Amino acid sequence: MIKVEKDVIYSAKLGLKADLYYPDDQTIKGAIVDLHGGGWFRGDKEKDADIATEFAKNGFMVAVPNYRYTPEVYFPEPIVDVATMVTWLLQEKNFNLADVMAFGSSAGGNLAVELAIKTGIAAVSWSGILDIDEWMNAHQDVEAKLDQTQDFSGSASADIDQTGKNDQFYKWFVMNYLQNKPEQVRSATPWRRIDENTGPLFLVNSMDEFVPTSGVTLTVDEMLKNRRIVQTQFIPGSRHAKGYYDVAIDQTILFFNKQIVGDTTVNP
């Protein structure tokens, strides 16, 4: 059985809450900050109960925070919130930074990589939004448009955005996150800020989904330039993020286990 604590406050100032998942009857290996997706404008920690439970079954304490999103706040405030979650784990749960890792899907994958850049922790990103400035430059003629066919509030994460490329929607939610300020496009692109202190990354993407694979390749190039550990998994088809859960979960758990035991021998 997995023990779950609901609505634990991790930022009293902002009233931000997280759900905590604990493995039962085994030593806790480390902590995973699990960041839900939703294009930085929708989503909730409840949607990641399934994968958080799986991580906990494998010996990890999992913190699934809610973070602020648009229109309450814009880039870079969600990054500040999830970094606060890491600090809370260090201060309130007595984890060492080396034992804390991040996981995220879609916009949550972006935030997981941002944590690897900001704090040096290892991170897994499924369909993370990583190519922003170069993609925008190449798609200036695309009209940004909200996808009205998606039920983001009530649908399971694995059922959203599974039909392939949707450039209008991709442009809409990225620019919405940047408050429609083109001058922020470059500064919001994660791979531009990778350096020698960035934590190990495992990046997963399907080949024909609406999140471009260029985000993975550009990030890998920058990681290798900085001699950082990086691993990838490309999946056939158009499934997005938790839509390919069955294909990516085993390698994800293996990656986390390697970081905890200190085995950083992973293949790019």
pLDDT at 154: 46
Residue 96 has pLDDT above 70, yes or no: yes
Proportion of the chain in helix, strand, coil states, percent, rounded to 5 = 40, 20, 40
Q: What percent of the chain has pLDDT over 70?
A: 90
Confidence of residue 165 (pLDDT cuts 50, 70, 90): confident
Which range among 29-33, 122-126, 160-164, 209-213 shows the weakest confidence by mean pLDDT?
A: 160-164
Instruction: Specify if 268 maps to a domain.
Output: no
pLDDT of residue 24: 85
Rounded CA separation 172/180 (Å) = 9
SS3 61: strand
pLDDT digits (tens, 9 = 90+) for 242-252: 999 999 999 99
Domains contained in the chain, number: 1
pLDDT per position as a tens digit, 170-185: 999 999 999 999 999 9
Q: What ranges in 121-213 are assigned the alpha helix state H?
A: 133-138, 167-177
**265 assigned to some structural domain:** no
Please give, one letter per residue, the 3-state secondary structure of 69-127.
CCCCCCCCHHHHHHHHHHHHHHHHCCCCHHHEEEEEECHHHHHHHHHHHHHCCEEEEEC
The average pLDDT across 92-118 equals 97
Whether pTM exceeds 0.95: no
User: What average pLDDT does the segment 223-232 reach?
Assistant: 98
Report pLDDT for 268: 28
Domain assignment present for 139 = yes
Look at residue 161 and tell me if it is in a domain. Answer: yes
Mean pLDDT (the chain) is 91
Count CA within 13 A, CB hemisphere, residue 176: 21
Query: pLDDT tens, 204-225?
Result: 999 999 899 999 999 999 999 9
CA distances 28 to 60, 93, 249, Å, are 5, 12, 19
Does 66 map to a domain? yes
Give the CATH number of the domain where residue 181 resides: 3.40.50.1820
Q: Give the Cβ contact number of residue 267 at 10 Å.
A: 7
